Chain A
Amino acid sequence: MKIYVPLDSAAKALGADEVADAIATEAARRGMDVEIIRNGTRGMIWLEPLVEVETPQGRVGYGPVEADDVPLLLDGKLASLGLVEQLDWMKGQTRLTFQRCGVIDPLSLQDYEAHGGLVGLRRAIGMPAADIVEEVTTSGLRGRGGAGFPTGIKWNTVLGADGPQKYIVCNADEGDSGTFADRMIMEGDPFTLIEGMVIAGLAVEATKGYVYLRSEYPDAIEIMEKAVVLARAAGVLGPDVLGCGRAFDMEIRVGAGAYVCGEETSLLNSLEGKRGVVRAKPPLPALEGFLGRPTVVNNVISLATVPVILEKGAQHYADFGLGRSKGTIPIQIAGNVRHGGLYETAFGMPLGVLVDIVAGGTLSGRPVKAVQVGGPLGAYMPREKFDTPFGYEEFDGQGGLIGHAGLVVFDDTADMRDMARFAMEFCAVESCGKCTPCRIGAVRGVETIDRIGQGDTDAIALLEDLCETMKDGSLCALGGFTPYPVLSALHGFPHDFDVKTEAAE
């Protein structure tokens, strides 16, 4: 009997380890032959720990399971959710990047290959470097970290650059609240990321890669480190990748709790062992990146999507999506929602469908007040903007951004002035200090919002002006985008900025 219990951090945070232990103990007591496989998560976090039992019809799900439920589970008497693949949440998705996440044992290369792994890499090995780049360009893949820059064009710059050594750097410093896709794929299907990095290496003629992984993700660090060792032992990494005669190897590097290091130039400084201070661009990292050498810096999801593009072909990927937002996007639904988790779908689904139907509204049952899309630097979208289709240009046109595709839902108890103040406070804590609009502006921003709260209506114009300066004058997105949550809160919910009246009235 095969039983799957996720090892994903979110499942563990809800008791998956205790459930796995209880299954092992109870099975041993009964003398049952049970094989427990620790898989990644399917992304249905409200059902975690989601235990799956293999049957001739497919994998049957149970959840959320508690350790006390285990005897009933093994008796076959626990109420089931039915076949996991047939649940609405799973059927509604187009899983390309996350096709194996939650399905396989993350640390079994054999399992990985049995589910389509390494097909993309084998195809890339037979192609000239420029053709691999062309394939990625044709797919329309854009940077999934938030900036949305076309991945193929970035690769082409690095391919054309000269240097004694080129690098592939994976940005796994996923610091945006409401996002966890990077963590989920690294914990649930780490070889996908490794394969994507090797393909990137072959495409731009880089032989060394680094994953800069945030220290807040100890479980992802452990799994990625193990996966690198296994990939090296199997010849996927090393001096002779799958016997093709070309080299690629990589290391996992751990961050140290600085949000700004998710910005690519700051990340490169940190990787070099310096303060994570932002660099002015140009020079582009593609030409002068890690140690001043040509470097591809891509987000985890961008790199983890490369294998499926090579496996199924660029056109297959490009056929999904909307306008210039091609392919699929793993949307992370979080905050005050009934059904939170990861939902991979083609670009174009309206925000309101995601919030009201896919997520099922709020967990509290109260009306949705606002949705922050794209992390702490993303705009608060009011209900009036819920018909905005999920796409880079579409959100930009509404004064927002999709960022790393996280949605944080708030109910009507949220105070938008508090949220605006928090955005400024966060910017002040995390500012690297290099440019004045961010370093000083964020501190003045907190003070100005406090003045508004004390009834100083003149301070509203001041806040608008300050935000304009931060937007236009900051070196990177931290100072430059903090005005998004602040101004969207101010413009979308102006009454929250009125002086608070006593609740007694």
Chain B
Amino acid sequence: MPCAQTQQTMDDILARHRTLEGPLLPILHSVQAEFGFIPEDVVQIIADALNITRAEVHGVITFYHDFRSAPAGRHVVKICRAEACQAVGGTAISERAFEKLGIGWHGTTANGAVTLEPVYCLGLCACGPAAMVDGKVVGRVDATKLDKLLAVVQTGAGA
């Protein structure tokens, strides 16, 4: 059973999306914005509200890369893996990030500071390698720039 607080939050989110055609993705984005991930106990609430099965909601959540089943670290660093960034040394940047953070793709550092994720194209293909730190875009990432970015997020000094 979800707690009263969760139920209240969900009621608000569902009310906001009641008139939309095809409301499930907007609802899930709102849930993630609110909780930081999609908590297990909201799945039934959404299913009931949209008159679909719990399995269908689960199926949608797990299909998309964006939706998390557990909270991310305090900062999320995304590094582009796509071809245009590879052409200017993107792979070496990813590998340096693995080494510096001691984690791989989708990993979170032990202190909970940083989650590292791959992204396939931020549309910054003429100024790669590209990265995104907590929603902020960064272009022409080289070793020095990466080290600086990671130092800021690792110490939790805020992005």
- Answer yes or no: are A and B bound together in one complex: yes
Interface residues of A, Cβ cutoff 8 Å to B: 9-10, 12-14, 45-46, 48, 174-180, 182-184, 215-220, 251, 253-259, 270-277, 290-291, 332-337, 340-341, 363, 372, 376, 406, 408-411, 414, 419, 422, 426, 430, 432
Task: For A180, give its contact among B24, B83, B124 (CB under 8 Å).
Answer: B124
User: Chain B binding site: helix, strand, loop or mixed by DSSP?
Assistant: loop
A257–B120 Cα distance when bound, in Å, is 9
User: Chain A binding site: helix, strand, loop or mixed by DSSP?
Assistant: mixed
Asked whether B137 is an interface residue with its Cβ less than 8 Å from the other chain, the reply is yes
Query: What's the nearest-Cβ distance from chain B to residue A273, in Å?
Result: 3
Chain B contacts of A274 at CB under 8 A? 24, 56, 60
A253–B21 Cα distance when bound, in Å, is 11
The verdict on A426 contacting B120 (CB below 8 Å), with A13-B138, A177-B83, A256-B25 known, is: yes
A174–B130 Cα distance when bound, in Å, is 16
Whether the pair A334, B84 counts as a contact (CB closer than 8 A) is yes
Chain B contacts of A48 at CB under 8 A? 127
Closest 7 CB pairs of A and B: A273-B24, A340-B126, A13-B139, A177-B82, A334-B125, A335-B87, A256-B64
Chain B contacts of A376 at CB under 8 A? 82-83, 120
Most buried by A among B22, B63, B87: B87
Interface residues of B, Cβ cutoff 8 Å to A: 20-26, 28-29, 50, 56, 59-60, 63-67, 82-88, 119-128, 130, 132, 135-140
A294–B132 Cα distance when bound, in Å, is 38
Query: What's the nearest-Cβ distance from chain A to residue B44, in Å?
Result: 16
The verdict on A258 contacting B126 (CB below 8 Å), with A178-B84, A419-B83 known, is: no
Whether the pair B86, A422 counts as a contact (CB closer than 8 A) is yes
The closest CB in chain B to the CB of A429 belongs to B120
A291–B20 Cα distance when bound, in Å, is 12
Whether the pair A408, B65 counts as a contact (CB closer than 8 A) is no
Whether the pair A45, B120 counts as a contact (CB closer than 8 A) is no
Whether the pair B66, A9 counts as a contact (CB closer than 8 A) is no
Query: What's the nearest-Cβ distance from chain B to residue A304, in Å?
Result: 15
A175–B65 Cα distance when bound, in Å, is 13
The verdict on A340 contacting B125 (CB below 8 Å), with A273-B23, A276-B63, A335-B87 known, is: yes
A361–B64 Cα distance when bound, in Å, is 38
Chain B contacts of A332 at CB under 8 A? 125-126
Task: For A276, give its contact among B64, B67, B128 (CB under 8 Å).
Answer: B64
Chain B contacts of A363 at CB under 8 A? 88
Whether the pair A10, B126 counts as a contact (CB closer than 8 A) is yes
Task: For A270, give its contact among B25, B119, B123 (CB under 8 Å).
Answer: B25
Whether the pair B124, A13 counts as a contact (CB closer than 8 A) is yes
Task: For B83, give its contact among A178, A256, A270, A333 (CB under 8 Å).
Answer: A178
Query: Knowing that A179-B125, A273-B24 are A-B contacts, what are 18 other residue pairs whose CB atoms are under 8 Å apart, sorted by A's residue number?
Result: A174-B123, A177-B84, A180-B124, A180-B125, A216-B119, A219-B137, A253-B22, A256-B25, A276-B63, A333-B126, A334-B84, A334-B126, A334-B128, A336-B87, A337-B126, A340-B127, A422-B86, A430-B120
Query: What's the nearest-Cβ distance from chain A to residue B48, in Å?
Result: 15
A102–B119 Cα distance when bound, in Å, is 27
A48–B127 Cα distance when bound, in Å, is 9
Most buried by A among B24, B25, B120: B25
Whether the pair B83, A408 counts as a contact (CB closer than 8 A) is yes
Chain B contacts of A220 at CB under 8 A? 123
Chain A contacts of B21 at CB under 8 A? 272, 290-291
Q: Please, could you name 19 A-B residue pairs with CB atoms under 8 Å apart, sorted by A?
A: A9-B123, A9-B137, A13-B130, A14-B140, A174-B123, A180-B125, A180-B126, A217-B123, A256-B25, A256-B66, A257-B119, A274-B24, A291-B21, A335-B84, A336-B88, A363-B88, A376-B120, A408-B87, A414-B87
The closest CB in chain B to the CB of A334 belongs to B125
Task: For B121, give its contact among A216, A256, A422 (CB under 8 Å).
Answer: A216
Whether the pair B84, A258 counts as a contact (CB closer than 8 A) is no
Chain B contacts of A372 at CB under 8 A? 83
The closest CB in chain B to the CB of A376 belongs to B83
A257–B63 Cα distance when bound, in Å, is 9
